[in-house]
Amino acid sequence: MSQKLQGKVAVVTGASKGIGAAIALQLAKEGAAVVVNYSSSKEGADRVVSEITGNGGKALAVQANVAKPADIQRLFAETKKAFGQVDVLVNNAGIYEFSPLEAITPEHFHKQFDLNVLGLLLTTQEAVKHFPSTGGNVVNISSVVATSPVPNAAVYSATKAAVDAVTRSLAAELGPKQIRVNAINPGLIETEGTHTAGITESDFRKQMEQQTPLGRIGLPRDVATAVVFLTTPDAGWVTGQTLHVAGGFR
């Protein structure tokens, strides 16, 4: 079976677990060499790398907090040193903190915007310096809350609405360089994080499933396969799009 990303190098931020780990594994399955970025979970990142290399793929774990410019530069320097090039960036690193309006603080705001929006912009800025002259691919992981915000998530929802706007703006700006920029907007996905937060067994999950035409919450692989599509030549004329991967939830 031909691999659609053979010879390509992909950087996936926040890839030690959950959606990011699934994306890294799926990109590797299609032949890409993958840099598994992590901020604090070295054990998780090493596990993802081991699974990829165990299946005959190429992967490397690189620690970097993508809210910090110096860390971003090191992330791409280590990628180039290991694999010689960069073709794909998946901006998956992000955090969410819920808070009612009366409890919102500048710290709550800046913590999420610095990583989810500014970090995404700075990481893309650095990636573009390293993409080949033939172009490159950026996929931003947004959320359905960008257009369907939920209570107590004003700041988080705002970061994801910003990601959608950034995606469209950068697609227009970078298109002449043959760099495609798209976003995936997942619905509720079952991950380690949602289990830890108690969401997976909650009434909120049941409510989401009732509002989802396909009647279930998502799995990380549901997002990963969509990301792979956007990075392959199959999506060669697709840019500036936000693809909802949410079982029909709007």
Active site residues: 156
The whole-number average pLDDT for the span 149-163 is 96
From 93, 95, 64, 58, select the one nearest 77 (Cα to Cα). 64
Q: Can you tell me the distance from the alpha carbon of 128 to that of 195, in angstroms, rounded to the nearest whole number?
A: 35
pTM for this structure? 0.96
Residues in the chain: 250
pLDDT value for 189: 92
CATH code at 197?
3.40.50.720
Note the maximum CA span of the chain: 55
The whole-number average pLDDT for the span 202-229 is 93
The whole domain housing 159 covers: 9-245
From 64, 60, 37, select the one nearest 50 (Cα to Cα). 60
pLDDT at 1 over 70: no
107 Cβ contact partners less than 8 Å away, ≥ 6 residues apart: none
pLDDT value for 204: 84
Kind of pairing between the strands at 242-245 and 59-63: unpaired
> How would residue 136 be classed by pLDDT, with cut points 50, 70 and 90?
very high
Q: Can you tell me the distance from the alpha carbon of 157 to that of 149, in angstroms, rounded to the nearest whole number?
A: 6
Whether residue 94 lies inside any domain: the answer is: yes
115 Cβ contact partners less than 8 Å away, ≥ 6 residues apart: 66, 67, 93, 94, 95
**pLDDT tens profile 197-210:** 777 788 888 888 99
Q: Encode 139-177: b = buried (16+ Cβ within 10 Å), e = exposed.
A: bbbbbbbbeebeeebbbbbbbbbbbbebbbebbeebeee
The whole-number average pLDDT for the span 121-132 is 98
The answer to whether 72 touches 66, Cβ cutoff 8 Å, is: yes
Cα dihedral 161→162→166→169 (10° resolution): 70
Whether residue 168 lies inside any domain: the answer is: yes
Residue 206 identity (one-letter amino acid): K
**pLDDT tens profile 77-110:** 999 999 999 999 999 999 999 999 999 999 999 9
Whether residue 68 lies inside any domain: the answer is: yes
Whether residue 3 lies inside any domain: the answer is: no
Whether residue 70 lies inside any domain: the answer is: yes
Place of tokens 């992967």: 59
Tell me how many domains the chain contains. Answer: 1
The whole-number average pLDDT for the span 16-37 is 98
Whether residue 2 lies inside any domain: the answer is: no
Whether residue 250 lies inside any domain: the answer is: no
Whether residue 97 lies inside any domain: the answer is: yes
